[in-house]
Amino acid sequence: MWFRSLRPYRLPSRLGIDAEELERRLQSRPFTACSPAQATSLGWVPALDETASALVHAAGPYWMVRLKREEKLLPATVVREQANERCSQIAKAQGRKVSRRERQAITDEVTQDLLPRAFSRSTSVRAIIADRAGWIWVDSSSAGRSEEVLNHLREALGNLPVVLPETQKAPAHVMTQWLLHQSLPESVELTDEADFIDQREEGSSVKVRGVPLDSEEVLAHLSSGHQVARLALEWGNRVAAVVDKDLSFRRLKFTDAIREANDELIEDPLARADADFLILCEILEGLQTAMVKAFGGLAE
């Protein structure tokens, strides 16, 4: 249940519905397993836990949803091999070359024939709607998977005017200045990991691991024109994360004290998950607010 990544999206206005109404709308799009000839299937499942029943879990001003994805694992090499074999048989039997369009049709036919025998893999992505604060946080480092969740929410709601957040100051520039001048925001501590990009040479990058970020080696990179692309830090002795220049957070790691705060509820898994969820939301909102403030606030 603890998020491992955070990709934020800004809600310019309130959704205008409550958690009960969102639940009703998501119930029209529940997850169903792939049919034998279906390559992928997407739908909503209980947000909090497999044993829960609600598709929307609400705690205070926060709502959580979870989109499940099932996909058939069908290696392209297997499809290509069988398609080539069928094309060869046609070419030999009819004494002619198989056209590109016909080859594509045969490939599609092979795919449909193999799908019922393919293994499947299921994954799910959680998202938190902080309607009052004006955010949607998706637990994914993938822009594609995050957009998939937003698109399915949009289908259920009819409209979802989310935008990628922009700040007054460029995060890459601000984080570079932190390292150059050792001027960190309050409650932020550096670790020993950063990625740099060379502004003078497209595609040039440097990864620093296990080296103090105030070392001469790091300062030399910055002085030569490199800029911070990702920076690992700790916030408020509560969570560690890698902050990306696009304002997303990767490899979230909550302290043991935070994760064990509700250990007394261990015999009631759903109550424990509910209590942990509220802590998670409060930390994510605090982290989001602190970083946006450090980058000069949201752009108008």
pLDDT band at 78 (very low <50, low <70, confident <90, very high): confident
Mean pLDDT of 133-154: 95
Find the domain containing 271 and state its range: 171-294
List all residues 6 or more positions away from 252 whose beta carbon is below 8 Å from its beta carbon.
Answer: 2, 3, 4, 5, 6, 239, 240, 241
Instruction: Give the chain's mean pLDDT.
Output: 90
Is residue 193 domain-resident? yes
Task: Please determine, for residue 262, whether its predicted confidence score (pLDDT) is greater than 90.
Answer: no
In the chain, the number of structural domains is 2
Is residue 52 domain-resident? no
Mean pLDDT of 152-163: 92
The answer on 196 and 284 residing in a single domain is yes
Is residue 262 domain-resident? yes
pLDDT tens per residue across span 243-254: 999 999 999 999
Is residue 82 domain-resident? yes
Is residue 263 domain-resident? yes
Identify the pLDDT of residue 163. 92
Task: Please determine, for residue 199, whether its predicted confidence score (pLDDT) is greater than 90.
Answer: no
Q: Tell me how far apart the alpha carbons of residues 126 and 281 are, in angstroms, rounded to a whole number.
A: 12
Which position has the higher pLDDT, 220 or 284?
A: 284
Mean pLDDT of 182-188: 88
pLDDT tens per residue across span 204-217: 788 888 888 888 88
pLDDT band at 201 (very low <50, low <70, confident <90, very high): low
Task: Please determine, for residue 203, whether its predicted confidence score (pLDDT) is greater than 70.
Answer: no
Mean pLDDT of 44-50: 93
The answer on 269 and 205 residing in a single domain is yes
Identify the pLDDT of residue 251. 95
pLDDT band at 30 (very low <50, low <70, confident <90, very high): very high
Identify the pLDDT of residue 202. 65
Percent of the chain with pLDDT over 70: 99
The answer on 193 and 80 residing in a single domain is no
pLDDT band at 153 (very low <50, low <70, confident <90, very high): very high
C-alpha closest to that of 66 among 109, 114, 30, 118: 30
Mean pLDDT of 82-95: 85
The answer on 284 and 178 residing in a single domain is yes
Is residue 30 domain-resident? no
Least trusted range by pLDDT, from 10-14, 66-70, 210-214, 296-300 = 210-214
Percent of the chain with pLDDT over 90: 56
Identify the pLDDT of residue 75. 84
Q: Global pTM?
A: 0.86
